[in-house]
């Protein structure tokens, strides 16, 4: 007969035996490894799990350094996930350049935000025979960083290749990937997107947010969205802009348009929205208190574009002035809803413990967004210190300073109504304001700077090398010798002959598959494309080799 107690006893004995077995196995393994290895404990004696835990605490550049230590360590690094809050690619045309100069002559900046008040900057500046690469950590001052000359290479492919090498591995997730490129005609933007896709060579970024600004058009956004982003990771697309002002150095208000992913509307933003499965936002950040209350204009634009417009972080006076019944729509939010037919708009004034915000939309669209409105706990987005991620809050608080710290690169300013002189005046006032702010925090900053250890690749060498000089670049006039060395191709393009540096070529036949997947190719496009890619397009039948 089955004896339950005996069975229980057996189970206990069995469990204890396994435990002891595992303990002995572990001890024997450890003793063996200690005997087998060198007397002094070292990295190689750690278990893979412990190594992974150590890797988890490495910063971005130490991870990269570790990848070059050995094959095994590279595999271990690649097995540990890493999060980078934000990465930005900016372009800046050198002075005196024309639209025809295209992207190849531009300078590029890769700005990597690794945490609050922590960032790495890689500036790639086009020079006569190649590029200068400046690397800085937690500073905008080139003299505090390191620089290197790289001959016979173009800035753009180099910038994309750097991004590819740093951020396209599946273990890396980006909080936001921002493109802050020059305001170029649509075809040139498309060709730029084509080049980005080409140079990434099938690799993808795993980013939660794609951010562009008013300079880029929806076609560029869509090409980037569909070709270089992991669609399982992306959560939203944002188009950010800032209205400069001298009143404050941090965002005071935000007005924006939101298109939920189920939007069925018309307008430029909606056109783009049809092609994606995530919500799109278009935000204007205001640095002044008194200029953002353009309710009528915003409501009208919301009607035209679809979705809804929102003003965030306005003061309580506006809430108090609305003499309408208060509705508690959820645990956190009270609403005053105003809809006065025949006016087609609905204005929803919201209040929570975090602050005040107002949604404006059409009667028809309100119904579609009702669930969204009802579930909203805080409508202040990344301006709310309590509800947003600390990095996001810090980032947007210091975003306006971009115009002061890096005026050549910043392109998300929306003050097109100002003349250049007026802009300089505003900039001057902002700089003065910043100087006052920084004076207060000077002691603290100095203390932190002394402590910080610079990342690999961003610290000055202990054995300073002579100032970087360009080694003689490729002599393009000696085309025969270059062809022999396979460093260049001679290209016959209609009436001209171009000599092309091999490092940056792209074949004409490859362009349509990359650059024309959104717009139909047309004559204008082809002309602009040829202008943009002057000297870089190879015609298949005319390569002399």
Partner 1 sequence: MSSTEQGTSSAAPAEPTTAPESAAAPEVPESFYYVHGKDKVVHKVSAGALQHSALIHGMISNLGYTEEQAKANPFPFENIDGDILQMVVDWCNQHKGKPTPPEDTNLPKQKEKLFDLVLAVNYLEIKELLTYCCKQVAMMVKGKSPEEIREIWMIPTDAEDEAAEKEAKKRAGKEAAGETAAAAGDAK
- Please report, as ranges, the residues that interact with partner 1 according to CB under 8 A: 16, 19-20, 23-24, 26-28, 30-31, 34, 38, 40-47, 50, 53-59, 61-62, 65-66, 68-71, 73, 453-456, 459
Q: Which is nearer to partner 1, 465 or 496 (CB)?
A: 465
**68 and 74 in contact (C-beta within 8 Å)?**
yes
At its nearest, how many Å lie between partner 1 and the CB of residue 15?
8
* Nearest residue (CB) to partner 1, 10 versus 418: 10
Nearer to partner 1, 31 or 235 (CB): 31
Do 305 and 269 touch, CB atoms closer than 8 A?
A: yes
- Shortest distance in whole angstroms from residue 40 CB to partner 1: 5
| Shortest distance, position 144 Cβ to partner 1, whole Å | 15
Q: In the chain, count of helices (H) and strands (E)? A: 18, 21
Q: Smallest distance, Å, CB 8 to partner 1? A: 14
24 vs 522 by CB, closer to partner 1? 24
CB of 123: closest distance to partner 1 in angstroms? 20
Q: Give the shortest CB-41-to-partner 1 separation in angstroms.
A: 4
CA–CA separation, 505 vs 537, rounded Å? Answer: 7
Q: Which helix (H) or strand (E) holds 480?
A: helix 479-485
* Burial of residue 180, with CB atoms counted within 10 A of its CB: 0-12 exposed, 13-18 middle, 19 or more buried: buried
Assess whether the previous peptide bond of 32 is cis (omega < 30° from 0). no
Q: Which of 461, 446, 408, 449 is nearest to 146 (CA)?
A: 461
User: Which of 26/408 has CB closer to partner 1?
Assistant: 26
Give dist(CA 351, CA 6) in Å, integer.
67
Per DSSP (E only), the strands in 138-206 are 146-151, 172-180
Of 19 and 418, which CB lies nearer to partner 1 in the complex structure?
19
Least distance between partner 1 and beta carbon 21 (Å): 9
Measured from the CB atom, the residue of 359 and 454 that comes closer to partner 1 is 454
**For the chain, how long is the longest CA-to-CA vector?**
101
Q: How far apart are CA 268 and CA 309, in angstroms?
A: 15
In 3D, which of 169, 124, 150, 121 has the Cα closest to residue 457?
121
Q: Which is nearer to partner 1, 40 or 467 (CB)?
A: 40
Shortest reach from residue 54's CB to partner 1, in Å = 5
CA distance 433 to 437: 6
CA 55/CA 51 separation, integer angstroms: 6
């Amino acid at each position: 007969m089955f004896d339950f107690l005996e069975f229980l006893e057996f189970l206990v004995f069995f469990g204890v035996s396994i435990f002891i077995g595992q303990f002995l196995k572990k001890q024997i393994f450890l003793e063996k490894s200690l005997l087998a290895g060198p007397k002094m404990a070292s990295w190689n004696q750690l278990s893979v799990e412990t190594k992974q835990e150590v890797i988890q605490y490495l910063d971005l550049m130490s991870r990269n350094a570790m990848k070059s230590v050995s094959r095994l360590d590279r595999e271990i690094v690649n097995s540990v996930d890493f999060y980078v809050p934000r990465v930005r690619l900016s372009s800046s045309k050198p002075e005196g350049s024309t639209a025809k100069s295209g992207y190849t002559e531009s300078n590029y900046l890769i700005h990597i935000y690794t945490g609050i008040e922590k960032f790495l900057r890689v500036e790639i500046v086009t020079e006569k025979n190649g590029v200068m690469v400046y690397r800085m950590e937690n500073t905008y001052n080139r003299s505090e960083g390191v620089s290197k000359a790289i001959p016979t290479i173009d800035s753009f492919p180099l910038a994309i290749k750097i991004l590819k090498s740093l951020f396209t591995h599946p273990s890396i997730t980006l909080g936001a990937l921002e493109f802050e490129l020059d305001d170029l005609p649509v075809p040139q933007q498309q060709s730029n997107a084509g080049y980005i896709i080409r140079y990434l060579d099938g690799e993808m970024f795993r980013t939660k947010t794609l951010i562009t600004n008013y300079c880029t058009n929806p076609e560029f956004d869509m090409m980037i969205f569909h070709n270089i982003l992991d669609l399982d990771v992306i959560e939203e697309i944002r188009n950010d802009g800032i209205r400069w002002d001298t009143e404050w150095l941090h965002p005071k208000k935000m007005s924006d348009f939101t298109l939920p992913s189920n939007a069925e509307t018309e307008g430029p933003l909606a056109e783009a929205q049809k092609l994606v499965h995530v919500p799109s936002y278009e935000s204007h950040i205001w640095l002044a208190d008194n200029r953002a209350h353009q309710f009528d204009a915003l409501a009208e634009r919301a009607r035209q574009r679809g979705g809804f417009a929102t003003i965030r972080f306005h003061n309580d006076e506006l809430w108090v002035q609305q003499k309408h019944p208060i509705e508690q729509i959820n645990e956190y939010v009270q609403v005053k809803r105003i809809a006065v037919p025949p006016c087609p708009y609905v204005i929803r004034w919201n209040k929570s413990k975090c602050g005040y915000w107002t949604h404006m939309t059409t009667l028809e669209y309100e119904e579609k967004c009702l669930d969204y409105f009802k579930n909203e706990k805080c409508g202040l987005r990344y301006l709310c210190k309590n509800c947003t991620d600390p990095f996001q809050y810090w980032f947007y608080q210091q975003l306006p300073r971009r115009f002061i710290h890096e005026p050549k690169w910043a392109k998300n300013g929306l003050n097109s109504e100002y003349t250049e002189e007026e802009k300089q005046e505003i900039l001057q006032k902002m700089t003065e304001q910043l100087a006052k702010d920084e004076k207060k925090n000077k002691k603290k900053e100095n203390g932190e700077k002394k402590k910080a250890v610079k990342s690999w690749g961003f610290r000055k060498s202990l054995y300073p090398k002579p100032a970087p000089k360009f080694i003689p670049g490729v002599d393009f006039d000696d085309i025969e010798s270059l062809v022999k060395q396979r460093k260049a191709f001679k290209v016959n393009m209609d009436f001209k002959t171009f000599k092309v540096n091999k490092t940056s070529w792209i074949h004409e036949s490859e362009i349509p598959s990359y650059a024309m997947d959104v717009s139909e190719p047309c004559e204008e496009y082809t002309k602009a494309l040829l202008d943009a890619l002057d000297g870089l397009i190879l015609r298949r039948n005319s390569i002399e080799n």
